[in-house]
Amino acid sequence: EKGNYRHFMQKEIFEQPDSTARTIGAYVNVLKQTVELPGENGHAIDWNDVTSLHMIACGTAHYATRVAEYWFEQVAGLPVKTDIASEFRYREPALPKTGGLALFVSQSGETADTLAALRYCKEKGLKTAAVVNVPTSTIAREADLVLPTLAGPEIGVASTKAFTAQLSALAAVAIAAGRGRETLSRDAEIRLGKALTQLPRLISSTLALDERIEKLARDIAKATDVIYLGRGVHYPIALEGALKLKEISYIHAEGYASGELKHGPIALIDEDTPVVFVAPFDGLFDKSLSNLQEVAARRGEVILISDEAGLRAAADAPAHRIELPDCDPFVAPILYSIPVQLLAYHVAVEKGTDVDQPRNLAKSVTVE
């Protein structure tokens, strides 16, 4: 049931304060201020035995693993490899004989390539875990350990609340890994756990930007190409923003690491090319700002998604500004997913596409 919403996708975007809170609640013990992985009684993964982490998924779920890659390296010092399932399964990847953990991420738990990659890893003797939204799915049944996302059923073909639930679960798993490997202090565990617990409230305030983004969408809907740029953990959010826009609005979009701008995509910039910067005021902001100024100097239409400090620092270089609340940099990629979803949604509505059932796409890709 869509209730008062026009589309399931819109309803699911607006459900994210609840869907993330439910997911985070399954991992963060607020009273003890610890992160505990559900379903493993604290012992199933011995993080000290894990020497490498392989994360495998498709599409939006793959972008969740690309964000998590930064988290695992940062808080757990764990070597990570992320892969698209359809690539992984056919290239005879070199896998460690011992100590390898393979982590699969899937909303449906039925994606053919992801399932095949899971079976391949089991055959090779790796320990397997799966972040899945459908608990009765094949991937959930076959993985050694299930790490649930509690997004609830997702109807819109374009993934929204499943993505932020995947990120929430993966953030918690990274914290648990950091504790297990003793790379994360007790204080840091408490801080990151708190940042996660406070996130749903920040998502609520970010959803209040809906009207502002709807107005902006009228402008973006005229474009034929849109570029999304981000750095660090926000690079995969740029990739996800571009994917969301292209799949539901059919506007061609590309996501790039901001630092790659000079290495090619800057040639595309002209006054008709909107460039969306996903850039909170963090340690990398200055770098993004110089990229932003390069785009503005070439009369590109800059949209800056940032916070108060970031928008102040950018002065009048961006043509459009979206101001998010301040948040802990650790959870920022989850929060910054919201405006890119809203932008794609409103551009698609403006273009009059079938938002919940975009052409050529299926909710669950059970054939390769």
- For 337, the token pair is 């997913």
In sign, the C-alpha dihedral spanning 150, 250, 366, 121 is negative
9 near ligand F6R, judged by CB under 6 A: no
**Choices 100-108, 270-278, 316-324, 347-355 (CB under 6 A): range interacting with ligand F6R:** 100-108
106 near ligand F6R, judged by CB under 6 A: yes
Least CB distance from residue 156 to ligand F6R, whole Å?
8
365 near ligand F6R, judged by CB under 6 A: yes
C-beta of residue 190 within 8 angstroms of C-beta of residue 35: no
Least CB distance from residue 365 to ligand F6R, whole Å?
5
DSSP string, 202-233: HHHHHHTTHHHHHHHHHHHTT-SEEEEEE-GG
Question: Which is closer to ligand F6R, CB of 86 or CB of 306?
Answer: 86
**Choices 13-21, 103-111, 270-278, 319-327 (CB under 6 A): range interacting with ligand F6R:** 103-111
Q: For ligand F6R, which residue of 12, 69, 247, 307 counts as binding (CB under 6 A)?
A: 247
Q: What residues have CB less than 8 Å from 141, skipping those under 6 apart?
A: none
Question: Which is closer to ligand F6R, CB of 62 or CB of 181?
Answer: 62
Q: For ligand F6R, which residue of 10, 19, 86, 159 counts as binding (CB under 6 A)?
A: 159
Least CB distance from residue 134 to ligand F6R, whole Å?
8
Q: How many Å apart are CA 284 and CA 278, to the nearest integer?
A: 11
Q: Three-state DSSP class for 55?
A: strand
Least CB distance from residue 244 to ligand F6R, whole Å?
6
Note if 161 is an active site residue.
no
Q: For ligand F6R, which residue of 114, 149, 206, 258 counts as binding (CB under 6 A)?
A: 114
Number of residues binding to ligand F6R, judged by CB under 6 A: 14
111 near ligand F6R, judged by CB under 6 A: yes
| Amino acid identity, position 340 | V
User: Radius of gyration of the chain from Cα atoms?
Assistant: 20
Alpha helices, DSSP H, located in the chain: 8-14, 16-27, 59-76, 85-88, 112-123, 138-142, 161-180, 186-207, 210-220, 235-249, 285-297, 308-314, 332-335, 337-351
> Per-residue x/- marks for ligand F6R, 49-88, CB under 6 A?
---------xxxx---------------------------
User: Secondary structure of the chain: what % helix, strand, coil (to 5)?
Assistant: 50, 15, 35
Question: Which is closer to ligand F6R, CB of 50 or CB of 344?
Answer: 344
What's the length of the chain?
A: 368
Comparing C-alpha atoms, which of 286, 289, 278 is closest to residue 256?
278
Q: Which of 81, 122, 194, 363 is catalytic?
A: 363
Active site residue ranges: 363
Where along the sequence are the contacts to ligand F6R (CB under 6 A)?
58-61, 106-108, 111, 114, 158-159, 247, 364-365
